[in-house]
Amino acid sequence: MVAQITHGIKVSVITRLLEDQSNPDLNYFLFAYIIKIENNSEFTVQLLRRKWYIFDSNGDRREVEGEGVVGQQPVIPPGEFYEYESACDLSSEMGSMHGTYLMIREIDKKTFDIKIPRFELIVPRRLN
């Protein structure tokens, strides 16, 4: 697990290979990632947008951005958390992701970015 705190918001990430949905013969590797966003600040916040930077060890680079996460724009009160699972496909056995979430404070409508820490997407057998 990797984690990073920005403006009192902690973002933690856990990853795993979805072996049953991957096809190494076709250079297709699907990874799931679970993200937990903990609000340790004193303000209620809402996640508005996401921006991802995805790197594949074969040299491919992608940027993905859009509203919310998994179709939601969650509101997270102080001391609470929001957790979701999503997936990313690669055409090689290794890669990484990192990015930002655009958040807004409910009290004064101030927007700010939260960093999503860089995390590795690696087929487990590559670690041996």
The pLDDT score that the predictor gives to residue 128 is: 56
The residue-averaged pLDDT of 45-58 equals 97
- Cα distances (angstroms) measured from residue 49 to each of 54, 95, 124, 128: 16, 23, 31, 37
CA 72 to chain centroid: 14
**Fold adopted by 2-127:** Immunoglobulin-like (2.60.40)
Question: What length is written for the chain?
Answer: 128
Between CA 128 and CA 115 the distance in angstroms is 30
pLDDT at 127: 62
pTM, two decimal places: 0.94
